[in-house]
Amino acid sequence: MDSILVKGNGALNGVIPIAGAKNACLTLMPATLLSEEPLTLTNAPRLSDIATMTQLLQSLGAEVASLQEGKVLALASHGAINHVADYDIVRKMRASNLVLGPLLAREGHAIVSLPGGCAIGARPMDLHIHGLEAMGAEIELKDGYLHAKAKGGKLRGAELTLRMASVGATENILMAATLAKGTTVINNAAREPEIVDLAQCLRKMGAQIEGEGTSRIEIQGVDRLGGATHQVVTDRIELGTYMLAPAICGGEVELLGGRMNLVAAFAEKLDEAGVSVTETANGLKVSRKNGRLKAVDVTTEPFPGFPTDLQAQMMALLCTAEGTSVLEEKIFENRFMHAPELLRMGAQIEVHGGHATVHGVEKLRGARVMATDLRASVSLILAGLAAEGETVVSRVYHLDRGYERVEEKFRGIGAHIERISA
Ligand code: UD1
C-alpha cells in the first residue's frame, strides 16, 4: 500500500486549481438513469470514487465514457437497464446508494445492495427508504439487498418531511420525484451546494423543480427527461482543505475556482483564528494574518453550517493555535479517528463522545501515522506540513477517493511531499 512522505519546510505560496466536486459528480452521474438521452458532465474530478460510480453504472447497462483525461464524462442509458446493483461494487462506496431512486423511477423496481458499515459511523438508509415508501414504493430487505418496487409500476408524488436533513436521502428522493406521477414536496431537505447543482442539471434535462438550496423542495413529476450538458460545481471540501495549507504553514495561496458562498461558515472560523480570506477575480486568496493562530470553537452542521467534511482538517490547524479549542461533531458519531494519530505528532487532544478539546501546542513533530478515512488522511498531511521533521502517512488509498493529484497540487505551492509506492 502506498504512503505519503511530508516534510515541513515553511511558508507555502502559489496557485492551486480546485476540481469539480466529488459529491456533486457522484449524484449527477446516476441521474443518467432517468433519461434515454445523453448526459455530459464537464469539470468532473479524476478520482477513484468516480471510477467506482462508473463501474456501477456500467454494470447496470449505462454507457460511461471518460473524455479529456477524465474531465468530461459522457453518459447514456438508452438501452436495457439491469436493475440489480451488486454488493461487490456498492460496498466500496456509500454513494452507490444513489442509484436506488433513479432505478426505481425508471424501471419501477430496483434491487440495490445496502452499503456496508462505514468507518465514520452507522450511516443507515432509513430516510431514503421512508421517503421512497411515502411515494408508493414497497421496500424489503432480503439477504443484504433492498428490494424496491413501485406500487402500480410507477412512483407517486407525496409530501414528506425528513427526520434529518440528509444529503443522500434528499438526492435520491429528488431524482425519483422527477419522474413520479404528481407533485412531491421534500420538507427539511438538505441545502448543500451539491443538491443545488443536481437540481440545476435535472432542470436542464426537463425536470420541474423549485426551492433547491432551501429546506423545502417541490418537484412536479414529468413523463420523461431529455439530455443535458452540465458543469460540475467547484469542490468546496477540496477548496477548504487547500485553504488550510497557507493558514497552517504561512504564505499566501490563491485557490482558482473558489467562491466565498461555498465556504462562508468555514472562512468565518478561519478569520476568527487569524487567517485572511479574500475573493479575487478567479477565486479565493488565503494568507495568515500576523502572529500565532488563535483557538476557535467549531460545531459541524448541515450546510450552510461548518461542514463535517472539513472538521478533521480544521483540527490539524487548531493543534498549533494558541489556547484551547472545542470541536463538536454533530453529523457523524465516530469522526475523531484522526485525533489519536495527531497525538502521535505531539498534539494535545481529548475526545469525549462528540466533543474534542484541542490544547494548542507551539509545534507538532513528524511521526509515522495512519489514515483512517478520506478527510482524516488529508488532515494528517496538513499537520505534517506544519510539523518539524518527517511525517509518513500510510494507507493513503483513502486520499485518492477524494483528492485528485494531491501531491502535485501541494508541490505546486512549494510543499515537500512525495508518494512512496509499496
Ligand atoms: C454526504 C456526503 C459526505 C458528507 C455528508 C454530510 C456524498 C457522496 N457524501 O454523505 O461526504 O460527510 O453528506 O455532509 O455526498 N442518516 C440517517 N439515515 C439516513 C441517511 C442519513 O440516519 O437514511 C444520518 C447519517 O448517519 C448521518 C447524517 O444522517 O449521521 C448525515 O448523513 P447524510 O447527509 O445522509 O450523508 P451522506 O449523504 O451519506
Task: Give the pLDDT band (50/70/90) at residue 246.
Answer: very high
For the segment 4-17, the average pLDDT, to the nearest whole number, is 95
> In sequence order, what are the residues at sequence separation of 6 or more whose Cβ sits closer than 8 angstroms to the Cβ of residue 208?
178, 219, 220, 221, 222
CA distances from 118 to 122, 307, 372, 373 (A): 6, 18, 11, 9
Domains of the chain: 3-19+234-420 (3.65.10.10), 22-231 (3.65.10.10)
List, chain by chain if needed, residues with CB within 6 Å of any ligand 1 atom: 23, 26, 94-95, 121-128, 164, 166-169, 190, 194, 308-309, 331-332
Cα(355)–Cα(357) distance, rounded to whole angstroms? 7
Q: How remote is the CA of residue 417 from the centroid of ligand 1, in Å?
A: 31
Active site residue 201: no
pLDDT digits (tens, 9 = 90+) for 145-163: 999 999 999 999 999 999 9
For the chain, the residue count is: 422
Q: Average model confidence (pLDDT) for the chain?
A: 95
Task: Band the pLDDT of 122: cuts 50, 70, 90.
Answer: low
* Residue of 389, 388, 385 lying closest to 410 (CA atoms): 385
CB atoms within 10 A of CB 422: 6
In this model, does residue 298 exceed pLDDT 90? yes
Q: For residue 184, give the C-alpha cell.
A: 412531491
Taking 60 as the threshold, does the pLDDT of residue 35 lie above it?
Answer: yes
In Å, what is the CA distance from 210 to each residue of 3, 10, 178, 313?
46, 48, 11, 34
Write down the residue that cell numbers 443536481 correspond to: 198
Question: How high is the pLDDT of residue 307?
Answer: 98
Considering only CA atoms, which of 327, 419, 339, 415 is closest in space to residue 376?
Answer: 339
Distance, in Å, from the CA atom of 123 to the CA atom of 96, rounded to the nearest integer, reads 13
Q: What is residue 295's predicted lDDT score, i.e. its pLDDT?
A: 98
**Looking at residue 396, what is its pLDDT?**
87
76-105: per-residue pLDDT in tens? Answer: 999 888 999 999 999 989 899 999 999 999
Instruction: Indicate the top mutation candidate among 123, 173, 377 to test ligand 1's pocket, ranked by most ligand atoms within 8 A of CB.
Output: 123
**Distance, CA 346 to ligand 1 centroid (Å)?**
32
As a whole number of angstroms, the distance between CA 166 and CA 122 comes to 14
